[in-house]
């Protein structure tokens, strides 16, 4: 009987070790699920953003005389329990330009930011809400910043990336605005479901959108401000 029990323990431990070896040292059998690994959709080159800005008018043209038509983007989303890792990379975009990424909250008949009334919120951790509020048009640092958690700058070749470690599940999850403590135009802050057009009944034009800020080169916290629309997912 002892021999049988010992063999069973060895088999279980061996099987577990095999799983760990396959998954790697920083993952577990129940976690690290790559939900998205795809190209970003390029929006119309002459399309207007919500602020009525266009790439051609406010960002200028590339050396080929186009609104950076060769620009491409890619997004990867890995979800682990109650957290998400979102990695965004742009190539051949406008050089030395500040971009921000946004998460859609307003779906078909539901959602939106309880703090601003807008349809999207920065792709940032919930714990960063107060800092984002401070750099909003209604905040203490209303001029904005190019050091926001949902922002990144392209280099001289038009390459830029954002690695967002989020404290909520982006797929099928919600954003908890109750973590904000500073004053905002609306309130109170409550959890709001994330609108995902890939899920039945959600609606909404996108899950993630990437915009530039060519006119003032900064982000504006919870407000997208003046911006030019480049990419979205899906």
pLDDT digits (tens, 9 = 90+) for 174-228: 999 999 999 999 989 999 999 999 888 888 899 999 999 999 999 999 999 999 9
The backbone torsions φ and ψ at residue 116, rounded to the nearest 5 degrees and listed phi first, read -125, -20
- Tokens of residue 224, six digits: 């997208």
Q: Are 122 and 209 in contact (CB under 8 A)?
A: no
Based on the fold, state whether residues 22 and 35 are members of the same structural domain: no
Provide mean pLDDT across the span 78-92.
97
Task: Find the domain containing 22 and state its range.
Answer: 1-30
Can you give the pLDDT at residue 203? Answer: 83
Residues near 168 by beta carbon (within 8 Å), at least 6 away in sequence: 82, 83, 84, 125, 126, 174, 175, 176
- Cα gap 50→118, rounded to integer Å: 11
Based on the fold, state whether residues 141 and 25 are members of the same structural domain: no
Q: How many domains does the chain divide into? A: 2
- The residue with tokens 């069973």 is 8
Structure confidence by residue, pLDDT tens digits, 123-182 = 999 999 999 999 999 999 999 999 999 999 999 999 999 999 999 999 999 999 999 999
Q: For 135-151, b where at least 16 C-beta lie within 10 A, e where not — what string?
A: bbebbeeeebbeebbbb
Based on the fold, state whether residues 190 and 213 are members of the same structural domain: yes
Based on the fold, state whether residues 20 and 127 are members of the same structural domain: no
Indicate if the pLDDT at residue 234 is higher than 50: yes
98 has which bridge partners?
153
Residues near 112 by beta carbon (within 8 Å), at least 6 away in sequence: 105, 106, 118, 119, 192
Based on the fold, state whether residues 155 and 222 are members of the same structural domain: yes
Based on the fold, state whether residues 7 and 84 are members of the same structural domain: no
pTM: 0.85
Based on the fold, state whether residues 15 and 94 are members of the same structural domain: no
Based on the fold, state whether residues 49 and 140 are members of the same structural domain: yes
User: What is the pLDDT confidence band of residue 10, given thresholds at 50, 70 and 90?
Assistant: very low
75 has which bridge partners?
38, 88
Based on the fold, state whether residues 15 and 62 are members of the same structural domain: no
Neighbour order of strands in the sheet with 83-91: 33-39, 72-80, 83-91, 160-166
Count of residues making up the chain: 234
Based on the fold, state whether residues 6 and 42 are members of the same structural domain: no
Based on the fold, state whether residues 177 and 205 are members of the same structural domain: yes
Can you give the pLDDT at residue 26? Answer: 37
More confident: 20 or 114: 114
* DSSP structural state of residue 185: S
Based on the fold, state whether residues 82 and 2 are members of the same structural domain: no
Q: How many helices (H) and strands (E) does the chain have?
A: 3, 12
């Amino acid at each position: 009987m002892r021999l049988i029990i010992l063999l069973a323990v060895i088999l279980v431990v061996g099987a577990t070790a095999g799983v760990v070896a396959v998954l790697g040292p920083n993952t577990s059998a129940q976690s690290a699920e790559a939900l998205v690994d795809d190209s970003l959709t390029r929006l119309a080159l002459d399309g207007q953003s919500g602020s009525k800005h266009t790439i051609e008018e406010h960002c200028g043209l590339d050396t080929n005389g186009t609104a950076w038509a060769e620009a491409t983007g890619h997004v990867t989303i890995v979800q682990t329990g109650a957290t998400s890792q979102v990695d965004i990379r742009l190539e051949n975009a406008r050089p030395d330009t500040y971009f921000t990424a946004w998460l859609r909250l307003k779906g078909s008949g539901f959602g939106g930011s309880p703090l601003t009334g807008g349809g999207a919120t920065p792709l940032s951790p919930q714990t960063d809400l107060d800092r984002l509020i401070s750099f909003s048009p209604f905040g203490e640092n209303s001029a904005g910043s190019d050091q926001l958690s949902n922002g990144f700058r392209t280099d001289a070749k038009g390459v830029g990336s954002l690695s967002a470690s989020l404290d909520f599940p982006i797929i099928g999850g919600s954003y908890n605005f109750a973590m904000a403590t500073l004053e905002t135009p609306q309130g109170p802050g409550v959890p709001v479901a994330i609108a995902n057009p890939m899920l039945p009944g959600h609606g909404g034009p996108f899950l993630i959108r990437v915009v530039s800020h060519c006119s003032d080169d900064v982000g504006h916290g919870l407000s997208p401000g003046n911006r030019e629309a480049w990419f979205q997912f899906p």
